[in-house]
Each structure stands twice: as C-alpha cells, then as structure tokens.
Amino acid sequence: MFDCHRSRLHSIVRCFALLALGGSLCFAGEKSLIKQVTPVKRLPQVIISAEAVGDLRLWIPEAVMSNVGTASIYPVGDEWQEKNKSMHHIVNEKNLFAHATFKKIDKQTIEFYGSRLPLDGPVRWNTKVKKGQDDSVEFEIQLTNKGTREMKKACAAVCLKFNNAPWWADERTYVLSGGEIKTLADLGRDAGRRYHPNPFQLYLLKDESFDNRFYHDVWGVNRNTLDHPVMISEHRKAGLCVGITAVKAYFLHSNRGNPCTDLMLAFGDLAPGQTVTSSGRVWIKRGSAKEILTALRKSSGSGE
C-alpha cells in the first residue's frame, strides 16, 4: 500500500562510487552485512544490498501526511547527488503526487484507496542518506512547509520493504509494548474498517494520537501502543536482526501482505515557511531481537 551488488572487490576498493544512478554508498570489508546502498533514479528510494537477509528497499519517504490531510503521495524528485560522503535527494512542489493512485475530488480534496483527505499546502524536502556506525544506514529528512496554512503533526511515511525474504513473519517481528517484548502476532491485526482480515496495522507510540482518516480506515489503529519507535525483524536461521528506528515518530506500521516495517517520522506542527529536520536509522545486527530489546528496555536510549 505504502509499499513500503554483491561485488566484494567493489565493496572493498570503492567505498563511495559514483554510478549512473546518481551515486552509491559502499560498505568496505568482507564481514559487512550491508554491502551497498544504491539510490533508485529520481525516486525517494534506496536499495540496501544485504545478501544475508535479502535486499531491502527503503522509501524515504513514500508520502508526507498530517494529522488529517496529505501533502504528497508517491513523489518523484531530482536525481540523487553524492556530497560529503552522503547521498541527497530533493523533492520540490512539482511532483508531489506522481502516480495515479488517487482521485482528485476538488482543489482541496483527494480520494486515496476510498478515503477522502484534505490537501495540505505544498511542501519541499531534502533527504540525506549516509553510512552509519557498523552495519547501519542513517537517513534524515529536512521538510519545509511551502503553503500558507499550518500543518498539524506533519510527518513522513518511511517504509522498509523486505525483498526476497520468506523468513519474515509477524511471529518474528518484535516491538516494546507495555513494558514487555511483544511480536506483531501478539499485538494482532484486528483494527481497521476496510479489510477483514486486515494485512495492515499501525501502532501508535505511547501518549500519541493521529486522526488521519486514511490510516484509521485502511491501516487500522491497534489497541496496543509502543514504548519506543523501533521495530525489529528476526531472521532466526541466519542469527540476524533487521531494525528500523527513529528519533521521533507518531507511530509504526506494518503490511503483512507486502512485508515491510514502517514508521511515521514526526516533524511536529509545521508553520508556513518553517523547516524542520527529523531522522532515523536502519540497521542489521547479529543476535536475537529479544537480546537487543532487553538492552533497550534497561536503558533510556531510542533503539539505535
């Protein structure tokens, strides 16, 4: 829905290689779990090449939303650019709605998968992706409200899609909820008005709320809340975990039918002309999700 190579010599010799696609981040070393991060032409996507768990497609972002409306769905931007050991992607006001997945009702309203949403003012953003510590990819979105109205709870939908990952399952995807380590299977997918049974589901962070009709209708707001903005998928046979986390998010969500672990990156209320930056991280670690989350629960960290 919001849907959200392997050359060893290339990884070792060229940590930052400029490719025809607009640049690539290469992780040097035979023991690196992440081999390369490659942008997808003009789309706000990168492919994280990680043979041990299957390649990952990271949308950053696939939509910009607000508490009740939307400013962008499936955008297209400029070509990716490499600068200062990071990759940059700019989306301006021209291609905020680039795919025909919605119906325009009037100048102020669109219909998306059966849900009518008010249009927020235009926005513009700059996404930065860089290599983090160990096997991690850090992302940062600098979002500007180019409209004339305040955007309440401005946010960006970041999707981590698991390609070629038959190992992925609700029973092996973990979060912290109510002070306990839970799987998505424990939390269930019984909320939502559109689909029964529902492959979608969102999980609000504790003390957060989100009124956007599309997410209530289609995704469904689970009755359980999360303690931290982190979701971890465990590949037990490989002894590896894939995590996505943010410094600040309103909720996390997941699509079982198109395996992904997503988060709604939070920017707060965005006044006309205001620019706010929010960030997150994707990582691959050895060990179990329970070990990682147990350490997180004992600390005051954010899951990074």
Contact yes or no for 1/255 (Cβ under 8 A): yes
Give the DSSP letter string of 211-271: --HHIIIII-B-SS-BSSSEEEEEETTTTEEEEEEESSEEEEEEETTTTEEEEEEEEEEE-
More confident residue, 35 or 278: 278
For residue 46, the Cα-to-chain-centroid distance in whole angstroms is 11
**pLDDT band for position 17 (cuts 50, 70, 90):** very low
Instruction: Record the tokens describing residue 124, joined without a space.
Output: 């513009």
β 275-286/240-246 pair status: antiparallel
Question: Which residues fall within 8 angstroms of residue 111, CB to CB, at 6 or more apart?
Answer: 102, 103, 104, 105, 117
Q: For residues 115 and 239, what is the distance between their CA atoms, to the nearest angstrom? A: 41
C-alpha closest to that of 11 among 97, 31, 202: 31
Strands 240-246 and 249-255: unpaired
- Report d(CA 293, CA 230) in Å as an integer: 9
Give me the residue label for tokens 């009709």.
Answer: 213
277-304 pLDDT, tens per residue? 999 999 999 999 999 999 988 885 444 4
Nearby residues of 199 by Cβ (< 8 Å), 6 or more positions away: 189, 255, 256, 257, 258
Check residue 113 and report its DSSP letter. Answer: T
Q: Residue 59: enclosing H or E segment and its boundaries?
A: strand 56-65
In degrees, rounded to 5, the angle at the alpha carbon of residue 15 between the alpha carbons of residues 11 and 18 is 105
Q: What is the pLDDT of residue 29?
A: 60
List the beta bridge partners of residue 20.
none
Residues 212-266 have pLDDT tens digits of 999 999 999 999 999 999 999 999 999 999 999 999 999 999 999 999 999 999 9
- pLDDT higher than 60, residue 15: no
Residue with tokens 């424990």: 186
End-to-end CA distance of the chain: 27
Amino acid in position 123? V
Q: Are 178 and 227 in contact (CB under 8 A)?
A: yes
pLDDT in tens, 259-271: 999 999 999 999 9
Flag whether pLDDT at 42 surpasses 50: yes
Question: Could you give the CA distance from residue 56 to residue 242 in angstroms, rounded to a whole number?
Answer: 10
Q: Using CB atoms within 10 A of its CB, is residue 188 exposed (0-12), middle (13-18) or buried (19+)? A: middle
Residue 12 has pLDDT above 60, yes or no: no
Q: Which residues contact 36 (CB under 8 A, 6 or more apart)?
A: 5, 10, 11, 24, 25, 26, 27, 48, 49
**Token match 């050991």: residue?**
85
Q: What is the CATH number that goes with domain 8-298?
A: 2.70.98
CA distance 290 to 219: 26
Q: Flag the least confident range among 30-34, 83-87, 110-114, 290-294.
A: 30-34
